[in-house]
A = this chain, B = another copy of it.
Amino acid sequence: MKKINTAPLSGMQELLPNTQALFNKLKQNIVDTYHSYGFIDIETPIIDRTEVLLAKAGGDTEKQIYKVIKTEESQDAADQALRFDHTVPLSRYVVQHQNELSFPFHVTQVGRNFRGERAQKGRFREFYQCDIDIIGREKLPISYDAKIIACIYTALSTFNLPKMRIRINNRKLVSGFIKSLGLSRLIEQISFVIDHAEKVSEEETKKALRELNISEENVEKIFTFMHIHGDIDLVEKELDMILQNKSDVKEGLDELRQVSEILSAKQLSNVFEIDLMIVRGLDYYTGTVYEVFLDDYRHIGSISGGGRYENLCSNFSKQSFPGVGGSIGLTRLFYVLQENQFIKEEANFPINFVIMPLSQNELIKSFEIADNLRNKGFTVDVDMGYDKKLGERFKRANTISSQAIVIGESEVEKNEFTIKNLVTGETQTLELA
């Protein structure tokens, strides 16, 4: 027999059953919250046309995409690839089915995406993304931006994490500010420097700005700008001190104020702040942008992010579909939470009861009790290993459950059954009614 490597490929997250159960529980919490906010499921194919997936992309995305070839029909080679996010397939879906959708379309997509990134600890090539998006036709009020952020925060709150902070900014404010300095031609480059400021030293940030041939005065102003954070009134006040022309940032500030007011009304004042350092790299954002961090663990990076894109479908349609979305990268988040021991598996047993008939004679009765418990919504395993020692069977039971019911001749006779707690050793009489 040829020796075959049975490890999963590098970059793949493969979990043991009890850990998988925990992962699935977190995923279900997210999905339930998304549904409760009125988001509706869709699923797009994992394999799509390369020209669709790469319609806008470039750079890393193009390098990291997994292309797909079929042996039988090789003429398809390189025409097909695996989706690398949910946003591109969603924009295709919206254009394709626009006449059958109801707008603003509240949609959630939870599934695996694929990127052939270089192997690196905590980076995955196959990963779950849990997305919500709201897509409008022609117009979409800014209030929906707040809805996305509130929903994402509610979903993450189900995880029992350390204190979170939502940091919110608006691209129009960033570009308006840069414009007010007379540096419109450098919007992209300056945004890039702001986006990276948290990962490098203050000196390096200033150096990067100077390398763009910006005057020392403007370097200082940009540096001050990116460090402004707080509530909307404070931000406005601090901005006033470095601005010549308020009209350049008016639209961005107005939108931030609207988002702030709704989030405050939703009792989230202690959780979010306006933070002008948040830019988000991806270039399709056009207004609100947000990221969520664990306040005392900023070094692990953002645990969710998203924002407003005025032109979701511009690669596929001339019509306007403004949208706003947010995403939780669950595979990476789960890894980070485990590494930092924020989530524990203690006593996370997927099965409620293990029923252990002592011989085949008690099998029918065992099935009866099992079905009875299943109908009440419990998960039940009937262990049929009569040939094994009872101790061994208890040991197995305790790997998947904390409760066992042993059924022997006398139990069947008396029609009395005892639940044994495998952790505490306590016993309890089973009430079948």
Contacts and interface: CB of A to CB of B under 8 A. Distances in A.
Contact of A20 (B43, B64, B82): B43
B70 A69 contact: no
Contacts of A8: 44-45, 48, 96
B1 A387 contact: no
A4 B315 contact: yes
A64 B112 CA distance: 22
Interface in A256-288: 262, 265-266
A75 B45 CA distance: 27
Contacts of A144: 384
The winner among A4, A95, A317 for most chain B CB atoms within 10 A is A4
Contact of A384 (B62, B141, B266): B141
Given A71-B63, A71-B67, A116-B70, A400 B102 contact: yes
Nearest to A125: B47
B107 A6 contact: no
Contact of A262 (B20, B97, B363, B371): B363
A142 to B, nearest CB: 9
Contacts of A17: 40-42, 101, 107
Contacts of A364: 265
13 contacts: A4-B52, A17-B41, A36-B380, A38-B381, A62-B71, A63-B72, A64-B71, A64-B72, A65-B71, A102-B400, A106-B381, A265-B364, A266-B371
Given A6-B316, A8-B48, A12-B47, A266 B367 contact: yes
Contact of A350 (B40, B66, B104, B266): B40
Interface residues of A, number: 101
Interface in A233-268: 262, 265-266
A374 interface: yes
Max chain B C-beta neighbours (<10 A), residue from A6, A13, A51, A72? A6
Interface in A308-349: 314-318
B40 A378 contact: no
A9 interface: yes
Contact of A400 (B40, B55, B65, B139): B40
Given A36-B374, A71-B62, A44 B1 contact: no
Going nearest first, the 5 A-B pairs with the smallest beta carbon separation are A38-B381, A102-B399, A70-B116, A12-B45, A36-B374
Given A14-B93, A116-B72, A351 B38 contact: yes
A147 interface: yes
Given A17-B41, A21-B41, 13 more contacts: A5-B49, A6-B95, A6-B316, A16-B97, A20-B43, A24-B41, A36-B374, A36-B380, A37-B374, A46-B114, A47-B125, A141-B385, A147-B384
A46 B384 contact: no
B63 A9 contact: no
A9 B52 CA distance: 11
Contacts of A100: 16
Given A103-B396, A126-B47, A360-B143, A382 B1 contact: no
Interface in A1-29: 1, 4-9, 12-17, 20-21, 24
B55 A4 contact: yes
A69 to B, nearest CB: 5
Contacts of A400: 38, 40, 102, 106
